[in-house]
Amino acid sequence: MVKNITYLLGAGASANCLPVIDEMPKRLNILKAELNIRSKAVFVNNPGNDVFAGEDDISNARTLVADLEWLSGEIQKHKTVDTLAKKFYLIKSKNADLKKLKKVLIAYFIYEQTKIGGEINSGAKEVPDKRYDSLIATIIDKKIGNLNLPTNFKIITWNYDLQFEIAYKEYLHEMSINDIQKKIQAIPSTEFIKRNTFFDYNKFSIVRLNGVAGLKIDLEGHLKRGSKTEKDDLKDFLASIARYYCNMPDDDIRVFNYSWENPDDYSDTYEETNTVKKIAKEIMRATDILVIIGYSFPVFNRSVDKELFGTLNRQTQIYIQDKNANEIQKLIIESFNTVFPDRIKAYNLVNQFFIPPEADI
C-alpha cells in the first residue's frame, strides 16, 4: 500500500538560498545600498553612472530605501522578523506597520529569489536552494516527458518563499510561476483565491501556513539573464521592484498572512486563512510518514502546531532533519502527546532533503 508522505518545512529548508535570522538585516541593507546609489540626485544628470533615468523610478526607490532602513532597524530589536510581525498585529495602533512590514518583505523576497539578486551574494547563497531541485528530481515521475509529482506527497510549510516553484520551473520552462502553482495545488495562490476552489487531497500539493510573499510578481524575466548588459539588467530589475513596491495591490499583501492572523479581527488578512489551516490538518490526519526539515517549533506557532499534531495518527513515522535534530526530537516528545517517542528518528545531515525509506520511488 502506498504511504502518504508529508513534509513539514521551516526556515532551515530554504537556508541555502535565503538568509537566516542573523543575516537578514545585512541583506536588507545590501538591497538598500543597491537602490540608494541609483537614486542619488547628484548622479541623475550624469549618464556615465548606473542611475535610474526617470523621476518616478528615483522617487519609488527612495521610498523603498526609507522603508528598508526602517525594517532593518526594527528587526534588530527582536528575535525574529516573525516576532516583530506578531507584535505589530497584537498592538492595534501598529497594524499599519504590519502591512508595511509585509510590503517590504515581499519586495525583499522577490530580490533574494532571483539569480540577479542572488548573485550579489557573491556565491554565498544558491538561487534556488539546490535541495529542492534534488528532491523534485528524486520524486518526479520517471516516465520521460511526464514531469508530474507523486500524488501521495504533500508539503506543509511555514515559509512564505517560492523556492519549490522556482526549482520546479527548471523542469517546466514554458510555464509561468502562477501556472506552476495551479499545477501543484499551491495555496494560497492566484487560483485558490477564487471562492469555492476545489482542493483534491489525492494530488500533490504545497500548503503555506503563513501565506506567500510575492504572489503575482512576474519573476520569470529575471530568473535568467536576458540580452542586456549585466549593469542594465540589474538596474531595470531594481527599478521594477521599487515600482511594484509603491503600487502593490492590497490582494498581494493580503495573501502574505501569518497563521495566527484572524480575518474577523484584522481586515488586511487573507479571508480563506482558516480554510488553509483546515486543509493542512486534513493532510496531517492522513499522513503515514512525516518528514520535518528545518523547523524549530517556535513558541508563537505553538497553537497551530498543536492543532496540526492533534490530528496526527499515533502510528505515524516521524523523521526530523535539522542541524539540531536531537533537540527538536525532544521538544516534539514533550510538546505533543499524539506521537510515540519510538516512532521518531533524528538526522543531522542537511546537505540534501531526506527521502524516507518507505517512499515508493
- Is 361 within the bounds of a domain? no
All residues at 6 or more sequence positions from 283 whose CB lies less than 8 Å from its CB, including other chains: 6, 154, 156, 201, 205, 207
Mean pLDDT per segment of 10 residues, for the chain of length 361 residues? 95 88 86 88 53 87 96 92 94 96 94 66 68 96 87 97 92 87 88 70 96 68 44 80 92 89 86 88 98 95 95 95 97 89 94 94 79
Phi, psi of 10 (to 5 degrees): -120, -170
- Is 355 within the bounds of a domain? no
**Hey, which residues does 319 pair with through a beta bridge?**
291, 345
pLDDT of residue 285: 98
- Is 267 within the bounds of a domain? yes
- Indicate the number of domains in the chain: 1
As to burial, measured by CB atoms within 10 angstroms (0-12 exposed, 13-18 middle, 19+ buried), residue 100 is middle
CB distance 309 to 285 below 8 Å? no
- Is 299 within the bounds of a domain? yes
pLDDT of residue 229: 45
- Is 105 within the bounds of a domain? yes
Q: Which domain holds residue 267?
A: 5-347
- Report CA 228 to chain centroid distance, whole Å: 29
Dihedral of CA atoms 19, 20, 25, 27 in degrees, nearest 10, equals -10
CB distance 88 to 234 below 8 Å? no
The CA-CA-CA angle for residues 206, 314, 351, to 5°, reads 45
pLDDT of residue 45: 52
CB distance 106 to 64 below 8 Å? no
- Is 201 within the bounds of a domain? yes
Alpha-carbon distance 109 to 107, whole Å? Answer: 6
- Is 110 within the bounds of a domain? yes
Alpha-carbon distance 317 to 287, whole Å? Answer: 9
Dihedral of CA atoms 160, 163, 168, 170 in degrees, nearest 10, equals 140
All residues at 6 or more sequence positions from 97 whose CB lies less than 8 Å from its CB, including other chains: 88
- Is 66 within the bounds of a domain? yes
User: Which one-letter DSSP state was computed for residue 53?
Assistant: -
Radius of gyration of the chain from its Cα atoms, rounded to whole angstroms: 21
